[in-house]
């Protein structure tokens, strides 16, 4: 990293606040440039937040978090945290944070950059919310534009409130994409007006794994989630999985099978047994209706069409399907995104492939990359946060191996796969499948702390396990204070 990132320096700063100062670089993800120095700034109830114009929205949120007043202009010598829009270094999402005796200045070219800076600032304010911020300057920007995680709301439905709470947590680590896995064999979780039984049947009570749960997002509920996420600078990526993983759709609409007979509903966790009927025009009417309606309610650039584990579709049929479906995503103004199997289709040259294989070589993906396909790295053996930490983990699966905190952190998304150079990598995503997860606590226990490490791989230019380990240990009390049910890995010395 650009400089040493020590833990908390146990230096009491004032009589009023004998709270330890957080070292300037003790932030997750690690900032690019950290230059500690000079006097720190003590936040008190007299501190105001100053912000004008486009900086106002982010400032209001900081004001709520720190319980400080937000003003357009603070009088002369008022101690202040000033948020301003203006050039930093031309890099997208960048910010500059300057801390001195008189105040803090956070500057960024965009509100997203200001939001990033505020996440850093909040980690530098002692966990109690008052006290001194170490003096110096941080200039920071991400290695990759895409820092994501996925939530599977098909295997078990998770409510909008739970999803919002999760968005709050991921955004603190500058994770800026949330991929929602909206359909699978067990259930269908998004309202589609032209095919209403998808949710009345596919989202009914009992449609979760083991018959537990059920439910779906209405269009209004989905739009509300999109807006909520956007207010935390998180973009929603919706996924409809096809041509496999479609049993729930076929239960609702038997005409989506080749023999026209409805299959039985499934609440087990098998994969690879269902397929849309590739030769039927009904299939493409269905797919186009779904893509059109989903694109219309999604402001983000990506629409994920699944494409994984289509073991009940022949290879030729799979290619026939993708040849029609990948261009449909483009037709509705979105960038097609799919699991890495889509790389076999020549039409994937304009698409994004989510690399979930555990192998570090994949000739199909390398060839697609040479043809223009971009990649998001989610290797199952490293980035799958539904996998158990170790054999004793009560939740999760283990088909890709056990993934302790260090394993999830210690790899390089820019060089991991042969033939996939960093220039083809848009970023990193940590998928959270939910066969075994029912509650928000379950989600949190699998996500944290691993997702913090994966977020650092997506953001920071270099990795340093010892530094990360120290910063993570120091972060623990913040999760505890917010009631986040994280896994207290024995690899970490938790504060
Ligand atoms: C494989 S990974 C799947 C999902 C399962 C997951 C469980 C991938 C693209 N598909 O259907 O939920 O394993 O870990």
Indicate if the pLDDT at residue 13 is higher than 60: no
Question: Which residue's alpha carbon is nearest to atom 5 within ligand 1?
Answer: 433
Indicate if the pLDDT at residue 5 is higher than 50: no
Where along the chain do its domains lie?
33-140, 146-463
309 tagged catalytic: yes
Question: Which residue's alpha carbon is nearest to atom 6 within ligand 1?
Answer: 433
Predicted confidence band of residue 11 (pLDDT cuts 50, 70, 90): very low
**33-140: CATH superfamily:** Chitobiase/beta-hexosaminidase domain 2-like (3.30.379.10)
Mean pLDDT of all residues in 224-252? 98
Residues in the chain: 495
Mean pLDDT of all residues in 202-222? 97
Cα 440 → chain centroid: 16
Distance of CA 435 from the midpoint of ligand 1 (Å): 9
The pLDDT value given to residue 14: 44
State the Cα–Cα distance between residues 372 and 351, nearest whole angstrom: 8
Distance of CA 479 from the midpoint of ligand 1 (Å): 28
Predicted confidence band of residue 9 (pLDDT cuts 50, 70, 90): very low
Q: What is the 3-state secondary structure (H, E, C) of 113-155?
A: HHHHHHHHHHHHCCCCCCEEECCEEEEECCCCCEEEEEEECCC
ipTM score: 0.91
Q: Which residues line ligand 1 (CB under 6 A)?
A: 271, 308-309, 339, 356, 384, 386, 397, 433, 435
Q: Which range has the worst mean pLDDT, 14-23, 58-67, 138-147, 214-223?
A: 14-23
**Cβ-contact 375, 425 below 8 angstroms:** yes
Q: Which helix H or strand E contains 487, and what residues bound it?
A: none
**Cβ-contact 402, 389 below 8 angstroms:** yes
**146-463: CATH superfamily:** Glycosidases (3.20.20.80)
Residue 325's nearest CA partner among 336, 316, 333 is 336
pLDDT in tens, 297-315: 999 999 999 999 999 999 9
Q: How many CB atoms lie within 10 A of CB 21?
A: 22
Distances (CA, A) of 474 to 123, 124, 447, 483: 10, 11, 18, 16
pLDDT in tens, 19-72: 678 999 999 999 999 999 999 999 999 999 999 999 999 999 999 999 999 999
pLDDT in tens, 157-172: 999 999 999 999 999 9
State the Cα–Cα distance between residues 337 and 348, nearest whole angstrom: 9
């Amino acid at each position: 990293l650009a400089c040493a990132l020590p833990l908390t320096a146990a230096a009491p700063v004032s009589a009023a606040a004998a709270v330890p100062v957080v070292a300037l670089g003790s932030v997750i993800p690690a900032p690019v440039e950290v230059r500690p120095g000079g006097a720190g700034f003590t936040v008190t109830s007299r501190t105001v937040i100053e912000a004008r114009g486009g900086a106002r929205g982010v400032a209001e949120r900081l004001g709520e978090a720190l319980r400080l007043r937000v003003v357009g202009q603070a009088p002369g010598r008022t101690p202040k945290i000033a948020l301003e829009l203006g050039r930093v270094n031309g890099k997208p999402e960048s910010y500059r944070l300057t801390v001195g005796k008189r105040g803090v200045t956070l500057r960024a070219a965009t509100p997203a950059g200001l939001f990033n800076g505020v996440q850093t600032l909040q980690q530098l304010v002692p966990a109690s919310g008052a006290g001194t911020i170490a003096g110096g300057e941080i200039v920071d920007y991400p290695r990759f534009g895409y820092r994501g995680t996925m939530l599977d709301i098909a295997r078990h439905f998770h409510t909008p409130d739970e999803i919002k709470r999760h968005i709050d947590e991921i955004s603190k680590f500058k994770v800026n994409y949330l991929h929602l896995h909206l359909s699978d064999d067990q259930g269908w979780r998004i309202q589609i007006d032209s095919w209403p039984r998808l949710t009345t049947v596919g989202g009914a009570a009992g449609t979760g794994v083991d018959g537990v749960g059920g439910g779906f997002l209405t269009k209004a509920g989905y739009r509300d989630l999109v807006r909520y996420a956007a207010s935390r600078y998180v973009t929603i990526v919706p996924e409809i999985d096809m041509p496999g993983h479609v049993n729930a759709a076929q239960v609702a609409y038997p005409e989506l099978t080749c023999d026209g007979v409805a299959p039985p509903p499934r609440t087990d966790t098998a994969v690879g047994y269902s397929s849309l009927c590739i030769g039927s025009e009904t299939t493409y009417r269905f797919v186009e209706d779904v893509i059109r309606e989903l694109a219309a309610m999604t402001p983000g650039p990506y629409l994920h069409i699944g494409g994984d584990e289509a073991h009940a579709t022949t290879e030729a049929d799979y290619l026939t399907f993708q040849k029609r479906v990948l261009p449909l995503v483009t037709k509705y103004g979105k960038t097609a995104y799919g699991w890495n199997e889509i790389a076999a289709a020549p039409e994937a040259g304009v698409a994004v492939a989510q690399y979930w294989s555990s192998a570090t070589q994949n000739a199909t993906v390398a060839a697609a990359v040479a043809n223009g396909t971009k990649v998001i790295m989610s290797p199952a053996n490293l980035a799958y946060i539904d996998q158990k930490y170790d054999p004793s983990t009560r939740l999760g699966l283990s088909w890709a191996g056990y993934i302790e905190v260090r394993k999830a952190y210690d790899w390089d998304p820019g060089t991991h796969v042969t033939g996939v150079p960093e220039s083809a990598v848009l970023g990193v995503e940590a998928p959270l499948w939910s066969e075994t997860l029912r509650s928000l606590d379950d989600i949190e226990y699998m996500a944290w702390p691993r997702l913090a490490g994966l977020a650092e791989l997506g953001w920071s230019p270099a990795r340093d396990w010892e530094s990360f380990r120290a910063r993570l240990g120091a972060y623990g009390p913040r999760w505890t204070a917010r009631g986040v049910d994280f896994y207290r890995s024995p690899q970490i010395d938790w504060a």
